[in-house]
A and B are shown apart, each in its own frame.
Chain A
């Protein structure tokens, strides 16, 4: 058995506990530990993705008990991709936090690794209830991280976020309970088989539980009527936290994707409803994000709207249930995660210079260091709005091509219309932030390249994803094919190869 699968979980857990033991006074040591943890996670995740790239499913049976009875971890291409995305995101966020934000509250260096633990666990687990546990881990860490630094705005947004997610957790349990009560299992592979074989008189209840799961994951992902917590939360959290949260919505998307391909494939009675519903919700969410971006009065709210928009875009790809749709979404996913995170990190030095204006999108004195900041913002804007030549454009192209006309008319309309709104919003924002009447008053200008490094790293990822688009696309296509044949997953979990056969 491949013990590497435990790495993305144990490394952050141990790092967090070491930091807890180090206590609040030894910030330097804590930073070192967190940094080592993040670098280790990145390296380990890449190794895991390498494993997954072979196309084999890696199943890790915790406690050496056979599936479906105990908990298993499963590594497939999708998990590998998301692990790497998370690790890629985490490192710059941590670097940014180490610029001083980590000291603005207690326990940052405990919460941060635990947040990663929760996210990684959610991507790896093959058990529905264990998924709930990892959701709770990532949520409880995110609550504290969102509130890190305090202040009225943060606390109000945090309170709403916490209460809504507690309701979400209750609903999750409701759905899990219903599924267990009907099928008698929690292992997702086993569940898939039992749902498919369920007697017809259970269809309604199964469908209800599937839809409740959709609500739960949708709440995490921020789809249309369930997104209202998102702008305020992302808009108020500290920059590195908001940046890290860019991946949180993707956990919800991941869960939906997993549920829609494994538990409730579109051929079944449950999946049929999901498959019909998902594209509609996706486009509505997409439009909501674009409209929110246009109406945003603060830069961070605008970027938060881009997060919503990205969720809509992802689901628009996923909702097609085709290899090309999945592949488009999976290419778009790391792109949007990293770019929105980069923008969040960028909002900090921009807003920090504008005094009382902060990051409000009103014309004010132009920002200091316009060349560096402006170039980065331009990159972020171009990537975020999906303009060529950066990765956002490629993602959009993949998405549009995955839904040829005339079937894809709605998708094309909404995607392109949203792009226009985003373009307007971002160009207005950029011109208001960077261009304006020159005022004599000296604004404090951040010096040196160090504060801009994390944002640069994240935005450079967009460039890298453009250059490396071909291999990435090959990977995502393979991932999509893997997702569309859940049989392999189920077989790997339930019917392991004889011992000695596989690592």
Chain B
């Protein structure tokens, strides 16, 4: 069962990443791209957890946590730039 579910889930996330990237390329505005990037970060978090299950390894948890954290920081920074230019004024 798992042997089927995991690849399927992986495929879903992979497809999601591709779709995100497509949005990132298309834009049209900078906000669209930030959104796409942010979603990629979130999907990657999912992917890492999934990989952990797939390879039966719990060590990827920290990486997933960190991706979530860093994705958030990146999004904040990019948006802040659009809003104020100087992100740490």
Do A and B touch, yes or no (CB under 8 Å, in the complex)?
no
Which residues of chain B have a CB within 8 Å of any CB of chain A?
none
Which residues of chain A have a CB within 8 Å of any CB of chain B?
none
